[in-house]
């Protein structure tokens, strides 16, 4: 049975790796649902977050093959339940809607939306949430005259207190005790 998995890849190189990953996913005919590349907690390393919808054996095989790429230190995979993940979205709506539709004010409060910019013709609203929450907001704002919107790829952290250790090239448990 297919499930949504988040792959977290640690590497020092990002440009060569993107080409190799794209070729691998294309060859295996695996659709990438989300791709994010960012700096991470380790100096001069990158965290690649890739979301796929596949079976566990396919994800295990994929993770093993990704780790064979020279630029990759480690690749982890987690189910949605094992991670905290969010996306950000920007919505452009007509400014006049604020003056005429009380539903928008309620929607802003109920969904913790932030107004980023206000112009005479349009207002930019920022939202942070899960993909389902962003989809819900897109639908609601469409009925209020949504001009355009854009959403980011997924960012994700695992729920456990483990983290990647570049020295040992594996996950380790962080000691959360404070030294006095």
Q: What is the CATH number of the domain that holds 14?
A: 3.30.70.260
Indicate if 79 and 7 belong to the same structural domain: yes
pLDDT at residue 176, as a whole number:
45
Specify which residues 91 forms β-bridges with.
125, 149
Query: Residue 32, Cβ neighbours under 10 Å: how many?
Result: 15
Take residue 118 and report the two structure tokens written for it. 């206000």
Asked whether the predicted pLDDT for residue 179 surpasses 50, the reply is: no
Contact 7, 64 (CB under 8 A): no
Asked whether the predicted pLDDT for residue 104 surpasses 70, the reply is: yes
How do residues 8-50 score in pLDDT, each as one tens digit?
999 987 788 899 999 999 999 999 999 999 998 888 889 999 9
Indicate if 65 and 133 belong to the same structural domain: no
Q: Domain containing 106: what range?
A: 86-151
pTM above 0.75, yes or no: yes
**Number of structural domains in the chain:** 2
DSSP state of 42: S
Indicate if 137 and 161 belong to the same structural domain: no
């Amino acid at each position: 049975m297919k499930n949504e998995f988040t792959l977290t890849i640690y590497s020092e190189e990002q440009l060569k790796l993107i080409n190799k990953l794209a070729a691998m996913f294309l060859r295996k005919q695996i659709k990438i649902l989300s791709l994010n590349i960012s700096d991470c907690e380790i100096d001069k390393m990158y965290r690649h977050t890739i979301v796929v919808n596949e079976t566990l054996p396919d994800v295990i095989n994929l993770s093993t093959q990704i780790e064979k790429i020279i630029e990759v230190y480690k690749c982890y995979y987690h189910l949605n339940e094992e991670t905290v993940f969010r996306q950000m979205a920007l919505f452009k709506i007509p400014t006049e809607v604020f003056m005429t539709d009380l539903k928008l004010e309620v929607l802003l409060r109920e969904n913790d939306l932030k107004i980023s910019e206000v112009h005479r013709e349009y207002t930019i609203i920022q939202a942070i949430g899960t993909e389902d929450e962003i989809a819900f907001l897109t639908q609601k704002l469409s009925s209020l005259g949504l001009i355009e919107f854009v959403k980011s790829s997924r960012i994700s952290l695992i729920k456990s207190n483990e983290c990647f250790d570049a020295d040992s090239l594996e996950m380790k448990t962080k000691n959360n005790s404070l030294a006095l």
